[in-house]
């Protein structure tokens, strides 16, 4: 009898274990089928940048690689540079309508779609890269960005930052605001609105057209990014005065945006991978620019004899005053822009107080 009881217990144990294994097998099959269902998703990423251009173009490539690697190949992203699939300033519409699943650019290019979009790229005398990230990730900025892009069926994310840019390339010295009057300058976004207020003519050009436009005289001046990118474009061959600081773009956030339908078709883990890969790319691009800009600046000055100039303090003070007026007026054009502006301004005022006794105080002390 005892022997029979032992045998029965063993048999029951076998049946239980078998059931567990069968159950686990079914769960694994379900999980594997889910993986298989999404492992060959192919996405197209269209960009506003020339193919493989240092910094921005390579940043788009890096983001695509991260998404593919982090997803274990379940999402494979192919990058198309400017004009390869669509013109550079048509990528917003291309992703919105589903021609491509992702776009990589800068939100101030889309002010024709929404004035509020500009606040998520760069605001004259606005936030630095570190401050922009703080506003986006911890200050409510990202939720507002999503609200702005929602009507277009897009999910936006920050995907890079250039840090403080340069003021631009000019063929004459800038000693007063009067020197900006009548100037035809490639300058996007809110910085362009300020130039227009001063009697200049802002021109919106994709990166690939800047050098020839400056060299031919189609424009009188241009800003692009900073030494790393400007040297790569050879802008020093078309203008001789290189001004700083980039008052108009103190910490320019670059973006990736995803077609909402394509994004929501992914399981939650892949959605998280897309968003977090963008955060990694955001930090990586800023590190890239910070590491490379000074070496490029030395080459421009010492090898190519570029004349480095600082905007006069009085010019910067006047630009700051006019910028505040222009930005407030642009924000007043519609309720959503006003909502974004109020959040941005409140955060800037708070972070300026803190950085006055931290970052700025330290940088001042370091140069004593």
Both tokens of 81, joined, read 């540079």
Instruction: For residue 17, report the phi and psi dihedrals to the nearest 5 degrees.
Output: -60, -40
Q: How far is CA 102 from CA 44, 95, 110, 115, 278, in A?
A: 6, 6, 15, 22, 12
CA distance 20 to 27: 10
CA distance 288 to 61: 14
The total of other beta-carbon atoms located within 10 Å of residue 65's CB is 14
Mean pLDDT within 333-339: 98
Give the domain ranges of the chain. Answer: 39-162+251-290
Identify the CATH number of the domain defined by range 39-162+251-290.
3.40.190.170
* Mean pLDDT for the chain overall: 91
The total of other beta-carbon atoms located within 10 Å of residue 244's CB is 17
> What pLDDT, on a 0 to 100 scale, did the predictor assign at position 35?
46
Mean pLDDT within 56-71: 97
| 116-147 per-position pLDDT tens digit | 999 999 999 999 999 999 999 999 999 999 99
Res. 37 pLDDT band, cuts 50 70 90: low
> What pLDDT, on a 0 to 100 scale, did the predictor assign at position 149?
98
Q: Hey, which of 14-23, 30-39, 313-322 has the most confident mean pLDDT?
A: 313-322
């Amino acid at each position: 009898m005892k022997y029979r009881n032992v045998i029965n217990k063993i048999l029951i144990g076998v049946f239980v274990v078998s059931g567990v294994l069968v159950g686990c097998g079914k769960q694994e099959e379900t999980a594997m089928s889910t993986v298989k269902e999404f492992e060959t998703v192919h996405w197209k990423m269209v960009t506003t940048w020339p193919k493989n251009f240092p910094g921005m173009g390579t940043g788009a490539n890096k983001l695509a690689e991260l998404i593919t690697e982090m997803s274990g190949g379940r999402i494979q992203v192919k990058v198309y540079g400017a004009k390869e699939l669509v013109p550079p300033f048509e990528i917003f519409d291309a992703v919105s309508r589903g021609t491509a699943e992702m776009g990589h650019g800068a939100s101030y290019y889309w002010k024709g779609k929404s004035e509020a979009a500009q606040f998520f790229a760069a605001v004259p005398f606005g936030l630095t890269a570190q401050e922009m990230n703080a506003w986006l990730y911890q200050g409510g900025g990202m939720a507002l960005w999503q609200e702005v892009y929602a009507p277009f069926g897009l999910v936006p994310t920050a995907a890079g930052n250039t840090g403080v840019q340069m003021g631009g390339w000019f063929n004459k010295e800038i000693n007063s605001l009067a020197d900006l009057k009548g100037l035809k300058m490639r300058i996007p976004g809110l910085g362009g609105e300020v130039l227009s207020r001063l009697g200049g003519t802002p021109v919106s050009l994709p990166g690939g057209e800047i050098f020839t436009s400056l060299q031919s005289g189609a424009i009188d001046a241009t800003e692009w990014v900073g030494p790393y990118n400007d040297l790569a474009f050879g802008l020093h061959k078309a203008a001789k005065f290189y001004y700083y600081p980039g008052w108009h773009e103190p910490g320019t956030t670059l973006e990736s945006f995803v077609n909402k339908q394509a994004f929501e078709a992914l399981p939650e883990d892949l959605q998280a991978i897309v968003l977090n890969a963008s955060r990694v790319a955001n930090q990586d691009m800023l590190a890239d620019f910070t590491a490379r800009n000074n070496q490029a600046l030395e080459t421009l000055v010492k090898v190519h004899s570029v004349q480095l100039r600082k905007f006069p303090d009085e010019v910067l003070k006047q630009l700051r005053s006019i910028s505040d007026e222009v930005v407030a007026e642009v924000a007043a054009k519609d309720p959503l822009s006003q909502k974004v502006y109020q959040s941005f301004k409140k955060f800037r005022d708070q972070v300026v107080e803190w950085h006055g006794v931290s970052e700025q105080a330290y940088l001042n002390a370091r140069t004593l």
